Chains A and B, each alone.
Chain A
Amino acid sequence: MAVEAVRATSDTKVAPWNDPVIRGWVFQIVVVGLVAALAWYLVSNTLENLARQKIATGFDFLGREAGFAIGDTMIAYSPADTYARAIWVGILNTLRVAVIGIILTTFLGTIIGIGRLSPNWLLARICAIYVEIFRNVPLLLWLFLIYKLVSEAFPGPRQAIRMMGDTVFLSNRGLYFPVPIAAPIHKWMGVGLIVGIVGAWALHRWATARQARTGEPFPSILAGFGIVLAAPFLVWLLGGAPSAMSWPALKGFNFEGGTVIQPEFAALLLGLVLYTSAFVAEIVRSGILALHKGQSEAAAAIGLSRGQSMRLVLLPQALRVIVPPMTSTYLNITKNSSLAIAIGYPDLVASINVTINQTGQAIENILIIMAAYLTVSLSISAFMNWYNKQIALKER
């Protein structure tokens, strides 16, 4: 009876307006149509407004002369260069602060996160207070505070704080320090550094394999650092050890020679690192706490020290929990570096902002911002997803 009844209902024709498939398509077409209508309305308004304000469209402006100066550049740039180059300088500045920020934040955040779990009550408390203070106040406020302190509390160039026998100068213009004058050997030292890193990695693999086979440990990390440092040094010696340095010296109202860490860059980096490491600390802490208590007890039972058990047993397992939220934290650092505009560090958004004000071509410039950040974000996500696969639990 029941079977027949079911068959009977499934055979009956469903009216088209009650068919879920047809209803779904109608609904989708209506929604997409509404979105398209809205988009058409906005675009037609925009075109009309642009025509009325006599603003050009298209990306031709990229080839024109930018005409604005940028205070802190990694590549040669002058106001006579094109908008494209000005924007490229901005992208490089964004990448510089993001990459250095990510590395420093990871270190500081991990240390503080582990510190919160320390058996030393005072250390754990201080790390907890650090986390609460930094993550409950806006990043922008930290940036302003640090920047104002750097630019107002440090003396002017003439009264600069002199260190290391008048070779390093700290003033409100930044930290000036000597650098070697460019020599051809520096390129080969770079090659030496890469060779050293590859060598250290090979040594570490060999040492791990040997320890697994024979049980004999080898201080591969220490030796690896030695190799990484020694290789470029050897190249330098072989190249005749050129030691000509460019020394900073006070000329008029500012320093010349040497190189400088500018206060805007320092304030942005410091603010980003201090603020974000509070979040990283929480991620690391919760990653370690997510592990079963037996893991640390077992590590202690086989005689590992606290440092060893953290490095060999707890952190590698905690990484599996830590990496996904860490990825979004890295993306946040990259995106938050755009706050640079508030304290005058010339990052991508700052360059674009000036370009918008000068050319009036807002849409093209916003598209450039979106494309640039999406590229960076997707690259970071892709790399972190690859890394996440590497450390994931290998199950049969």
Chain B
Amino acid sequence: MTDLAQSGDAPRPKMSPPADQTGIVGWLKRNLFSSWGNSLTTIVLIACVVWIIDWFIDWGLVNATFVAANGPECGKNAGACWALIGEKYRYIFFGSFPYEQHWRPLFACIAMLAMLLASADRRMWNWRLLVIWSVGSFVTFLLMFGELRFPLTIFLIVGLVVGGVGMGLRAGIASPREMLTYRVLAIVGGVGLAGRIAGVIPAWGLEINAFSYVETGLWGGLPVTMILATYGLVFAFPYGILLALGRRSNLPLIKGLCVGFIELIRGVPLISLLIMASVMLPLFLPTGSNIDKFLRALVAVIFFAGAYIAEIIRGGLQSLPKGQFEAADAMGLNYVQSTTLIVLPQALRVVIPPLINTFIGFFKDTSLVLIIGIFDFLNTANQALVDPNWAGFPGEVYLFAAAIYFIFCYSMSRYSKYLEIELNKGTRR
């Protein structure tokens, strides 16, 4: 119970902290020079950093050539040959796409970027997402191909799927009229599809011809990388969900099939799947049918991505307490309803950040398609080096390509970090 103020001493005047503990000096002392070992590390590191930056400025700016007619002219200076990038950037970005039509892949890239950016906004995470992706995909592929053909079969499959899912999902909720619509859709789709397979219904297609047709063999550069990564993941996503649900299923045969598939795919490298797709897919199909090389790569990427996505989603499913499943059953929901209305919305919310990290991984991994001869962004950069007029400057081109990849991957990883914090706001204390 001793009160310092009353024990005889007058209250001391407030003193400011020592000068070497505040402000810049204090920060430096705390973070860079806290001990002699730390000071030594700092000095050595500063020396290294200064040396590297100095070398880079000399090589990349001071001694660099920005305008040159050919390689030997570039070689006169000791520094980087950025003129090579100026000469080749159209090829690196768009590959062998007809030169005067380069605006098409450019706008296709912009459309895909806009689509991805719009999907990054959480306010769009509802029916709007479907609209954004339908319109975005339509624009992208119309620009890339020049003309699109929607065969009747596609409409029939969509009808069957929408009808079937609607019947399961809205069972007991929908009005009789709505239910009737789903039934009609499913029956028309199913019967039509059977007719198509049997050959009773002729092949019919809705054709849209906007520009001159450009085959996938001429596609190259950034749009190829973006299409492979984006659509590889888009198609792999529902398929990964099915695999994950199958792996968690009580039905032994289904579970065995899914586990076997997932472990087999995850156990082998992507390259072996790509080689398999490029040499074995043609063997799998009936004699005479030819499958597009680009499509083969896409199939391999989808198979590969599906197995990895399934494992991530399984993590999300496992994080749900058992009570959620039981409560859904107690409410009288059927399997489709409890899965789509109760289980998946919660499980997917947990796994969105790791899914984005997987997407980053696939964005990088699509570069492997160059092994089976597809001209993705890395491959066009590689091909730009082959020109004998510009031989001898691999570093410049690869640095340029690395910078583009870095911008994409780094911004996505920042977004994933932001989302992780944003989505966990409710559970954080």
Q: Which residues of A contact B (CB under 8 A)?
A: 24, 27-29, 31-32, 35, 42, 45-46, 48-50, 52, 119-123, 126, 132-133, 135-141, 144-145, 148-149, 152, 335-336, 338-339, 341-342, 349, 352-353, 356, 362-363, 366, 369-370, 373-374, 377-378
**Contacting pair B271 A339 (CB below 8 A):** yes
Q: Contact: B287 with A52, CB < 8 Å? A: yes
Chain A's closest residue to B253 (CB) is A28
- Contact among B45, B287, B367, B394 with A140 in the assembled complex (CB-CB below 8 Å): B367
A356 touches B395 (CB 8 A): no
| B401–A48 CB distance below 8 A | no
Instruction: Report the minimal beta-carbon distance from A112 to chain B, rounded to whole angstroms.
Output: 14
B264 to A370, Cβ gap below 8 A? yes
Given A31-B254, A137-B402, A374-B264, A353 contacting B395 (CB threshold 8 A) = no
A338 contacts which chain B residues (CB < 8 A)?
269, 271-272
Q: Would you call B146 an interface residue if the criterion is a C-beta within 8 Å of the partner chain's C-beta atoms?
A: no
Determine how close the nearest CB of chain A comes to the CB of B229; give it in whole angstroms: 11
- Are the C-beta atoms of A335 and B279 separated by less than 8 Å? no
The minimal Cβ–Cβ distance linking B30 to chain A, given in whole angstroms, is: 8
| Best-buried of B264, B275, B399 by chain A (most CB within 10 Å) | B275
Q: How far, in angstroms, from A148 to B42 measured CA to CA in the complex? A: 33
Whether B42 contacts A120 by the Cβ 8 Å rule is yes
Q: Is there an interface contact between A24 and B251, defined as CB atoms closer than 8 Å?
A: yes
A193–B42 Cα distance when bound, in Å, is: 40
The answer to whether B45 touches A45 (Cβ under 8 A) is no
B393 → A minimal CB distance (Å): 9
Residues of B within 8 A of A49 (CB): 282-283, 287
Report the nearest A residue to B409, measured CB to CB.
A136
CA separation between A330 and B64, bound complex, in Å?
Answer: 41
Cross-interface CB contact of A362 among B268, B280, B371, cutoff 8 Å? B280
**In the complex, what residues of A have CB within 8 A of residue B402's CB?**
137, 141, 145
Cross-chain contact B271 with A349 (CB below 8 angstroms):
yes
CA–CA, A362 and B34, complex, Å = 63
Give me 24 A-to-B residue pairs in the complex whose CB atoms sit less than 8 angstroms apart, sorted by A's number.
A28-B252, A45-B283, A46-B280, A48-B286, A120-B32, A120-B38, A120-B41, A136-B406, A138-B364, A138-B367, A138-B405, A140-B368, A141-B398, A141-B405, A145-B395, A149-B395, A339-B271, A342-B370, A349-B269, A352-B275, A363-B280, A366-B276, A373-B269, A377-B267
Distance of A48 Cα from B251 Cα, bound (Å) = 35
Interface string of B378-404 (1 = CB under 8 A from A): 100010010000001011001101100
Q: Say yes or no: B280 contacts A335, CB within 8 Å.
A: no
B253 — which chain A residues lie within 8 A by C-beta? 28-29, 31-32
Q: CA separation between A301 and B32, bound complex, in Å?
A: 23
A366 touches B280 (CB 8 A): yes
Bound together, the chains give a CA A363 to CA B283 distance in angstroms of: 9
Quick check: A341 and B286 within 8 Å, CB to CB? Answer: no
One digit per residue, 1 when the CB lies within 8 angstroms of any chain A CB and 0 when it does not, for chain B 260-279 equals: 00001001111110011001
Name the B residues within 8 Å of A135 (CB-CB). 409
B257 and A45 contact, CB distance less than 8 A: no
By a CB distance below 8 angstroms, the chain B residues around A335 are 268-270
The reply to whether the CB of B410 lies closer than 8 angstroms to some CB of chain A is yes
B284 within 8 A of A: yes
Q: Is the CB of A148 within 8 A of B409?
A: no
Report if B1 contacts A (CB, 8 A).
Answer: no
* Residues of chain A lying within 8 A (CB to CB) of residue B250: 24
Are A136's CB and B410's CB within 8 A? yes
How many angstroms between the C-alpha atoms of A373 and B413 in the bound complex? 30
A152 and B269 form a contact (CB under 8 A): no
Docked-complex contact B280 and A148, CB < 8 angstroms: no
| B5 on the A face (CB < 8 A) | no
**Measured between alpha carbons, how far is A141 from B402 in the docked complex, in Å?**
7
Residue among A148, A149, A373 having the largest count of chain B Cβ atoms under 10 Å: A148
Q: Give the residue name and chain of the B residue nearest to A53 (CB).
A: B283
CB of A41 to closest CB in B, whole Å: 9
B287 in complex: contacting residue of A28, A48, A152, CB < 8 Å: A48
Query: How far apart are the CA atoms of A336 and B254 in the complex, in Å?
Result: 31
Chain A residues within 8 Å of B282, by CB: 49
**A119 interface neighbour in B38, B271, B385, Cβ under 8 Å:** B38
Q: Knowing that A28-B252, A121-B31, A373-B268 touch, tell me 4 more A-B residue pairs with CB under 8 angstroms.
A: A32-B253, A141-B405, A339-B368, A349-B272
A45 adjacent to B287 (CB under 8 Å): yes
How many angstroms between the C-alpha atoms of A373 and B275 in the bound complex? 15
Known: A46-B283, A149-B394, A362-B279. A370 touches B31 (CB 8 A): no
Residues of A within 8 A of B45 (CB): 120, 122-123, 126
Task: Give chain B nearest CB distance to A347 CB in angstroms.
Answer: 10
Determine the distance from Cα of A378 to Cα of B45 in the docked complex, in whole angstroms: 42
Nearest first, the 10 A-B pairs at minimum CB distance are: A121-B31, A148-B394, A136-B409, A335-B269, A138-B364, A338-B269, A28-B253, A145-B398, A362-B279, A138-B367
Given contacts A35-B257, A136-B405, A148-B394, contact A374 B268 (CB under 8 A): yes
Bound Cα distance from A24 to B252, whole angstroms: 10
What chain B residues lie within 8 Å of A363 (beta carbons)? 280, 283
Residues of B within 8 A of A341 (CB): 271, 371
B32/A137 in contact, CB under 8 A:
no
| Chain A residue contacts of B267, Cβ below 8 A | 370, 373-374, 377-378
Contact B368 A46, beta carbon cutoff 8 Å: no
Partner of B367, one of A132, A141, A148: A141
A32 CB, nearest partner CB in chain B, Å: 5
A342 (CB) vs chain B CBs: closest residue: B371
A378 to chain B, nearest CB (A): 7
**Complex CA–CA separation, A363 to B272 (angstroms):** 12
